[in-house]
Structure 1
Amino acid sequence: MAVVRWVLGRLILTLNWLFSPRGIKRSAEDQRAVDALTANLALYQYEACPFCVKVRRAMKRNSLKVALRDAKRNETYKNELSEQGGKLKVPCLRIEEKGEVRWMYESSEIINFLEYKASQA
Protein backbone atom coordinates (compact mmCIF):
# COMPACT_ATOMS: atom_id res chain seq x y z
CA MET A 1 0.00 0.00 0.00
CA ALA A 2 2.87 2.36 0.78
CA VAL A 3 4.24 1.84 -2.74
CA VAL A 4 0.87 2.67 -4.29
CA ARG A 5 0.63 5.84 -2.19
CA TRP A 6 4.17 6.84 -3.16
CA VAL A 7 3.48 6.29 -6.89
CA LEU A 8 0.19 8.19 -6.73
CA GLY A 9 1.88 11.01 -4.82
CA ARG A 10 4.58 11.34 -7.47
CA LEU A 11 1.93 11.27 -10.21
CA ILE A 12 -0.02 14.05 -8.47
CA LEU A 13 3.12 16.18 -8.09
CA THR A 14 4.15 15.60 -11.72
CA LEU A 15 0.72 16.55 -13.07
CA ASN A 16 0.66 19.58 -10.80
CA TRP A 17 4.05 20.66 -12.16
CA LEU A 18 3.01 20.07 -15.79
CA PHE A 19 -0.28 21.90 -15.49
CA SER A 20 0.63 24.56 -12.94
CA PRO A 21 -1.77 27.53 -12.97
CA ARG A 22 -0.62 31.06 -13.73
CA GLY A 23 -0.85 33.66 -11.02
CA ILE A 24 -2.71 36.94 -11.17
CA LYS A 25 -0.57 39.86 -12.32
CA ARG A 26 -0.92 42.83 -9.98
CA SER A 27 0.89 46.11 -9.65
CA ALA A 28 3.71 46.03 -7.08
CA GLU A 29 1.61 48.16 -4.72
CA ASP A 30 -1.44 45.88 -5.01
CA GLN A 31 0.72 42.79 -4.51
CA ARG A 32 2.24 44.30 -1.36
CA ALA A 33 -1.28 44.93 -0.05
CA VAL A 34 -2.26 41.31 -0.72
CA ASP A 35 0.97 40.06 0.86
CA ALA A 36 0.20 42.10 3.98
CA LEU A 37 -3.23 40.44 4.22
CA THR A 38 -1.70 36.95 4.01
CA ALA A 39 1.34 37.58 6.24
CA ASN A 40 -0.46 36.07 9.24
CA LEU A 41 -1.38 32.82 7.49
CA ALA A 42 0.39 29.45 7.41
CA LEU A 43 -0.65 26.33 5.53
CA TYR A 44 0.18 23.05 7.25
CA GLN A 45 0.36 20.47 4.50
CA TYR A 46 1.90 17.33 3.03
CA GLU A 47 3.64 17.75 -0.29
CA ALA A 48 1.77 15.04 -2.22
CA CYS A 49 -1.63 15.25 -0.51
CA PRO A 50 -4.19 15.90 -3.28
CA PHE A 51 -6.22 18.29 -1.11
CA CYS A 52 -3.06 20.19 -0.19
CA VAL A 53 -2.13 20.42 -3.87
CA LYS A 54 -5.62 21.80 -4.54
CA VAL A 55 -5.09 24.55 -1.95
CA ARG A 56 -1.56 25.36 -3.18
CA ARG A 57 -2.88 25.64 -6.76
CA ALA A 58 -5.51 28.13 -5.57
CA MET A 59 -2.79 30.09 -3.78
CA LYS A 60 -0.72 30.19 -6.97
CA ARG A 61 -3.74 31.14 -9.12
CA ASN A 62 -4.40 34.08 -6.79
CA SER A 63 -0.68 34.98 -6.37
CA LEU A 64 -0.87 34.60 -2.59
CA LYS A 65 2.19 34.27 -0.41
CA VAL A 66 1.28 31.99 2.46
CA ALA A 67 3.89 30.25 4.61
CA LEU A 68 4.02 26.52 3.84
CA ARG A 69 4.68 24.15 6.74
CA ASP A 70 5.36 20.51 5.90
CA ALA A 71 3.75 18.63 8.78
CA LYS A 72 4.93 15.29 7.44
CA ARG A 73 8.66 15.96 7.36
CA ASN A 74 9.01 18.52 10.16
CA GLU A 75 8.29 17.29 13.70
CA THR A 76 7.89 20.84 15.04
CA TYR A 77 5.12 21.64 12.54
CA LYS A 78 3.54 18.23 13.09
CA ASN A 79 3.41 18.84 16.85
CA GLU A 80 2.07 22.41 16.41
CA LEU A 81 -0.70 21.11 14.18
CA SER A 82 -1.61 18.31 16.55
CA GLU A 83 -1.37 20.23 19.82
CA GLN A 84 -2.54 23.72 18.83
CA GLY A 85 -4.84 22.84 15.94
CA GLY A 86 -6.40 19.93 17.75
CA LYS A 87 -5.88 17.21 15.15
CA LEU A 88 -3.25 15.91 12.77
CA LYS A 89 -5.12 16.54 9.52
CA VAL A 90 -4.02 18.40 6.40
CA PRO A 91 -4.49 20.77 4.74
CA CYS A 92 -4.89 23.13 7.65
CA LEU A 93 -4.69 26.90 7.50
CA ARG A 94 -3.48 28.66 10.64
CA ILE A 95 -5.04 32.13 10.78
CA GLU A 96 -3.80 34.71 13.24
CA GLU A 97 -5.94 37.84 13.44
CA LYS A 98 -6.20 40.41 16.21
CA GLY A 99 -4.11 38.29 18.55
CA GLU A 100 -6.36 35.25 18.14
CA VAL A 101 -5.45 32.04 16.33
CA ARG A 102 -7.91 29.80 14.56
CA TRP A 103 -7.41 26.68 12.49
CA MET A 104 -9.28 25.85 9.27
CA TYR A 105 -9.19 22.25 8.00
CA GLU A 106 -11.37 21.82 4.92
CA SER A 107 -9.69 22.50 1.56
CA SER A 108 -12.76 24.12 -0.03
CA GLU A 109 -13.27 26.32 3.01
CA ILE A 110 -9.58 27.29 2.95
CA ILE A 111 -9.75 28.17 -0.75
CA ASN A 112 -12.87 30.30 -0.23
CA PHE A 113 -11.16 32.11 2.65
CA LEU A 114 -8.00 32.73 0.57
CA GLU A 115 -10.00 34.02 -2.41
CA TYR A 116 -11.86 36.35 -0.07
CA LYS A 117 -8.53 37.66 1.30
CA ALA A 118 -7.25 38.19 -2.25
CA SER A 119 -10.35 40.22 -3.11
CA GLN A 120 -9.92 42.53 -0.11
CA ALA A 121 -6.82 44.29 -1.44
Structure 2
Amino acid sequence: MRSVIRTFFRGVRLVMTPFMLAQEKLSTPKGMERTPEEQAQVDEACRELALYQFRSCPFCIKVRKEIARLNLPIETRDAQHDANHRQALEQGGGKVKVPCLRIEHGDGQTEWLYESSDINRWLESRFG
Protein backbone atom coordinates (compact mmCIF):
# COMPACT_ATOMS: atom_id res chain seq x y z
CA MET A 1 0.00 0.00 0.00
CA ARG A 2 2.82 2.38 0.87
CA SER A 3 4.44 1.90 -2.55
CA VAL A 4 1.12 2.61 -4.29
CA ILE A 5 0.76 5.91 -2.42
CA ARG A 6 4.37 6.84 -3.12
CA THR A 7 3.94 6.05 -6.82
CA PHE A 8 0.75 8.10 -6.95
CA PHE A 9 2.40 11.19 -5.47
CA ARG A 10 5.44 10.83 -7.72
CA GLY A 11 3.08 10.81 -10.69
CA VAL A 12 1.26 13.90 -9.42
CA ARG A 13 4.61 15.66 -8.93
CA LEU A 14 5.71 14.66 -12.43
CA VAL A 15 2.53 16.11 -13.95
CA MET A 16 2.52 19.29 -11.82
CA THR A 17 6.21 20.26 -12.13
CA PRO A 18 6.00 21.95 -15.57
CA PHE A 19 2.94 23.93 -14.48
CA MET A 20 4.59 25.05 -11.25
CA LEU A 21 7.75 26.16 -13.04
CA ALA A 22 5.73 28.00 -15.71
CA GLN A 23 3.68 29.72 -13.00
CA GLU A 24 6.91 30.78 -11.27
CA LYS A 25 8.26 32.26 -14.51
CA LEU A 26 5.06 34.17 -15.21
CA SER A 27 4.52 35.51 -11.70
CA THR A 28 8.04 36.38 -10.56
CA PRO A 29 8.09 40.06 -9.62
CA LYS A 30 10.44 42.65 -11.07
CA GLY A 31 13.50 43.24 -8.92
CA MET A 32 13.75 46.36 -6.81
CA GLU A 33 15.90 49.23 -8.05
CA ARG A 34 19.01 50.35 -6.17
CA THR A 35 21.80 52.76 -6.90
CA PRO A 36 24.91 51.08 -8.34
CA GLU A 37 26.72 51.62 -5.04
CA GLU A 38 23.90 50.07 -3.01
CA GLN A 39 23.64 47.13 -5.42
CA ALA A 40 27.40 46.56 -5.15
CA GLN A 41 27.06 46.35 -1.35
CA VAL A 42 24.15 43.92 -1.69
CA ASP A 43 26.12 41.82 -4.20
CA GLU A 44 29.04 41.63 -1.77
CA ALA A 45 26.78 40.62 1.13
CA CYS A 46 25.10 37.91 -0.99
CA ARG A 47 28.42 36.16 -1.60
CA GLU A 48 28.05 34.80 1.93
CA LEU A 49 24.65 33.24 1.15
CA ALA A 50 23.55 30.07 -0.63
CA LEU A 51 20.04 28.65 -1.06
CA TYR A 52 19.73 24.86 -0.98
CA GLN A 53 16.58 23.98 -2.90
CA PHE A 54 14.65 21.58 -5.10
CA ARG A 55 13.63 23.08 -8.44
CA SER A 56 9.91 22.25 -8.23
CA CYS A 57 9.37 22.59 -4.46
CA PRO A 58 6.57 25.16 -3.92
CA PHE A 59 8.28 26.54 -0.80
CA CYS A 60 11.55 26.93 -2.72
CA ILE A 61 9.66 28.75 -5.47
CA LYS A 62 8.28 31.11 -2.80
CA VAL A 63 11.84 31.92 -1.63
CA ARG A 64 13.17 32.30 -5.18
CA LYS A 65 10.40 34.82 -5.90
CA GLU A 66 11.41 36.84 -2.85
CA ILE A 67 15.05 36.69 -3.96
CA ALA A 68 13.99 38.00 -7.37
CA ARG A 69 11.82 40.73 -5.84
CA LEU A 70 14.72 41.94 -3.69
CA ASN A 71 17.12 41.66 -6.66
CA LEU A 72 19.58 39.43 -4.79
CA PRO A 73 22.32 37.44 -6.57
CA ILE A 74 22.14 34.46 -4.21
CA GLU A 75 23.64 31.19 -5.41
CA THR A 76 21.09 28.38 -5.64
CA ARG A 77 22.24 24.83 -4.99
CA ASP A 78 20.21 21.87 -6.21
CA ALA A 79 20.05 19.47 -3.26
CA GLN A 80 17.78 17.11 -5.17
CA HIS A 81 20.00 16.19 -8.11
CA ASP A 82 23.49 17.12 -6.87
CA ALA A 83 24.82 14.62 -4.34
CA ASN A 84 27.54 16.98 -3.14
CA HIS A 85 25.06 19.74 -2.30
CA ARG A 86 22.72 17.22 -0.67
CA GLN A 87 25.55 15.91 1.50
CA ALA A 88 26.68 19.44 2.44
CA LEU A 89 23.11 20.29 3.46
CA GLU A 90 22.81 17.18 5.58
CA GLN A 91 26.19 17.60 7.26
CA GLY A 92 25.98 21.34 7.80
CA GLY A 93 22.30 21.82 8.52
CA GLY A 94 21.67 18.45 10.09
CA LYS A 95 18.86 17.38 7.76
CA VAL A 96 17.93 17.27 4.09
CA LYS A 97 15.05 19.73 4.13
CA VAL A 98 14.51 22.54 1.67
CA PRO A 99 14.47 25.44 1.31
CA CYS A 100 17.50 26.14 3.46
CA LEU A 101 19.53 29.34 3.42
CA ARG A 102 23.19 28.95 4.36
CA ILE A 103 24.49 32.14 5.95
CA GLU A 104 28.20 32.61 6.56
CA HIS A 105 28.77 35.24 9.22
CA GLY A 106 31.83 37.47 9.34
CA ASP A 107 33.11 35.72 12.48
CA GLY A 108 33.39 32.41 10.61
CA GLN A 109 30.21 30.83 11.96
CA THR A 110 27.68 29.29 9.59
CA GLU A 111 23.93 29.49 10.17
CA TRP A 112 21.45 27.21 8.42
CA LEU A 113 18.01 28.82 8.17
CA TYR A 114 15.07 26.56 7.28
CA GLU A 115 11.41 27.36 6.52
CA SER A 116 10.45 29.57 3.59
CA SER A 117 8.65 32.17 5.71
CA ASP A 118 11.63 32.52 8.07
CA ILE A 119 14.02 32.82 5.12
CA ASN A 120 11.83 35.45 3.41
CA ARG A 121 11.50 37.40 6.67
CA TRP A 122 15.29 37.33 7.17
CA LEU A 123 15.94 38.43 3.58
CA GLU A 124 13.42 41.28 3.89
CA SER A 125 14.90 42.50 7.16
CA ARG A 126 18.45 42.29 5.80
CA PHE A 127 17.95 43.61 2.24
CA GLY A 128 14.43 45.07 2.05
TM-score range, shorter chain: over 0.9
Q: Structure 2 matches for 1:34-73, cutoff 5 A?
A: 34-73=42-81
Q: Equivalents in 2 of 1:83, 1:104: separation in Å? A: 14
Q: Report the number of matched residues.
A: 119
Aligned residues of 1:44 and 1:71 also touching (Cα < 8 A) = yes
Aligned match for 1:81, one of 77, 80, 89 = 89
Taking every aligned residue pair, what percent have the same amino acid on both sides? 42
> What stretches of structure 1 of length at least 5 have no aligned partner?
none
CA offsets per residue over residues 47-89 of structure 1, 9 Å max, x none? 0000000000000000011110000010000000111110000
When the two chains are superposed, the root-mean-square deviation of aligned CA atoms in Å is 0.9
Per-residue deviation at 1:18? 1.4
Give the aligned residue type for 2:104.
E
Mapped pair 1:101 → 2:102: no
**Residues 38, 64 of structure 1: 8 Å contact kept:** yes
Q: Distance between the aligned counterparts of 1:60 and 1:81, measured in 2?
A: 23
Runs of 4+ in 1 over 3 A off after TM superposition: none
Larger radius of gyration: 2
Secondary structure at the aligned position of 1:26 is classed as coil
Q: CA deviation at 1:116?
A: 1.5
Structure 2 runs not aligned, ≥5 long:
1-7
Q: Distance in 1 between matches of 2:19 and 2:77?
A: 21
Q: Distance in 1 between matches of 2:26 and 2:73?
A: 21
Which of structures 1 and 2 has the larger relative contact order (alpha carbons within 8 angstroms, sep 6+)? 1
Q: Which residue of 2 aligns with 1:90?
A: 98
